[in-house]
Amino acid sequence: MYLTRFRINTARHGARFLLSSPQRWHAAVLAGFPGLPTDPAARPRILWRLDHIARTDVHAYIVSPDRPDLTHLVEQAGWPALAQPDTPGWETRHYRPFLQRLAKGDRWAFRLTANPVHSIRRNDKEPTKRTAHLTPRHQLGWLLEQTTKHGFELLPGLVPDDEDPLNRYSVIVHDRRDLSFRKRPENAAPGTGPKNEGQRRTGPVTLVTAVYSGQLEVTDPDALRNALARGIGRSKAYGCGLLTLAPQG
């Protein structure tokens, strides 16, 4: 298991092209792992996330069972002239030793980009419909529903007795993004059209994402290890679900 960080050169046209669609970035990430099965259902889980620190400061994080080769991303969206054998343009570290050290009661700062959704229906005759949570309060409510099964709890905030969960817990819900893009068939090469044999365009994909930054305590190390390796929630192919931990500042 590996954790990789790649800093994106947002001044490059290729970087802006990839960042314009989660579908494009997803394909670019998968291209770093040779020999992946063509059937998405047969592939190992590869998680990725884009952290927009500032307008021109964007980092990509990848969690994968195999070590990636991101040479193509350096050439298209990095600093290829600065690449050296010992500093190829990305950082990859073994992740499993860190995962194995997790223990109940540990406290960490965390960051998560997720697609918080719920299922609703207007009456008993209609099928349920998956709908995005749109407000920070409801998006935080979604995260609170995930904590027990994923082995952690949110630490108390500045006003732990406040009825408003946005004040009760040590977490900030921010950077909501409303994304809409057209999904390209998995077997289509970049730039191909729907007339290629065996391919067809699907309808547009729309999703709402939110970023969670806060403090947590480990309650079930095995469950949390699984969450860190497998992700949380839906839309993992589009940059959601990757939870990362860091020492509390």
Task: Express each pLDDT in 194-241 by its tens digit.
Answer: 344 344 456 688 899 999 999 999 999 999 999 999 999 999 999 999
Share of the chain above pLDDT 70, in %: 89
pLDDT value of residue 66: 96
Give 195-204 contacts, CB < 8 A, sequence gap 24+.
204/180
Are the CB atoms for 25 and 61 separated by under 8 Å?
no
* CA dihedral sign, ordered 31, 37, 39, 44: negative
Confidence of residue 160 (pLDDT cuts 50, 70, 90): confident
Quick one: how far is CA 39 from the chain centroid? 21
- pLDDT at residue 185, as a whole number: 59
**Mean pLDDT for all residues in the chain:** 89
In this structure, the chain runs to a length of 249
11: pLDDT confidence band, cut at 50, 70 and 90?
very high
Q: Does residue 191 have a pLDDT over 50?
A: no
Which pTM was predicted?
0.88
Give how far the C-alpha of residue 217 lies from the chain's centroid of Cα atoms, to the nearest Å. 21
8-state DSSP, 50: E
Q: What is the average pLDDT across 148-162?
A: 92
For residues 63 and 48, give the distance between their C-alpha atoms in angstroms, rounded to a whole number.
6
Q: How confident is the model at residue 75 (pLDDT cuts 50, 70, 90)?
A: very high
Beta carbons within 8 Å of 18's beta carbon, 6+ residues apart: 24, 25, 28, 76, 77
DSSP labels, 145-166 = HHTTTTTEEEPB-SSTT-SSHH
CA atoms within 13 A on the CB side of 71: 6
**pLDDT confidence band for 161 (50 / 70 / 90):** confident
Q: What is the pLDDT of residue 164?
A: 86
pLDDT for the residue 197: 36
Does the structure show a pLDDT above 90 at 97? Answer: yes
pLDDT at 26 over 90: yes
Enumerate domains of the chain plus CATH numbers. Answer: 1-101 (3.30.70.1200), 104-249 (3.30.70.1210)
Greater confidence (217 vs 162) lies with 217
The percent of residues above 90 in pLDDT, for the chain, comes to 70
